[in-house]
Amino acid sequence: MNYFKQTLRELQIGVIILGILNILIGMWFPKNMLAWVLGGLLGTVTALVMTDNMAKAIVKAVSDEAKASARIRFAFFFRYAIAVIVMIVACVSPYTNPIATFIGIFSIKFATYLTPLIHKINLKINPNSLDSDGSEEAEEENNDSEPVVSGR
């Protein structure tokens, strides 16, 4: 598995862990526990969709450098629009708690800080999870190019 995919997976694991914590901790406080659970699930699923969209945007931007800035900008506004629409739905719907939804969506921010810890745990559990991190492929591509002749 390459390093990019593993990092994405670890980020998504962090979002899921924080989503579960959001639901478990938040279940004790509100009057309507079902609305909190559904709001937390909605926010967590939205955060997972946003991480997947972010990863796809990065891959497309790297593959087409001429349009990279525009692609990243469009993907950012698309994710922002998704978050706004989901929050509007959560605020209007009587079946979801908007605070739980917001925490679920915002968990992507905190999951980025958890990713190094999840990576260390992943390496302890599965030391061979990064057999190829992609650096060997990049090194081979560099070696295949014509040698550069230095000046006198």
Query: Does residue 5 lie in a domain region?
Result: no
- Note the pLDDT tens digit of each residue in 41-73: 999 999 999 999 999 988 888 888 888 888 889
Q: Cβ(1)–Cβ(44) under 8 Å?
A: no
Would the pTM of this model clear 0.85, i.e. be above it?
Answer: no
In a domain? residue 41: yes
Among 3-17, 28-42, 85-99, top mean pLDDT goes to 85-99
33 inside domain: yes
Q: Which domain holds residue 46?
A: 13-126
Distant-in-sequence, close-in-space partners of 38: CB < 8 Å, separation ≥ 6? 95, 96, 97, 100
The structural domain count of the chain equals 1
- Asked whether residue 135 is domain-assigned, the answer is no
**Nearest in space to 100 (alpha carbons), one of 50, 152, 34:** 34
* Residue 131 located in a structural domain: no
Asked whether residue 59 is domain-assigned, the answer is yes
Q: Does 91 reside within a domain?
A: yes
How many CB atoms neighbour CB 27 within 10 A? 14
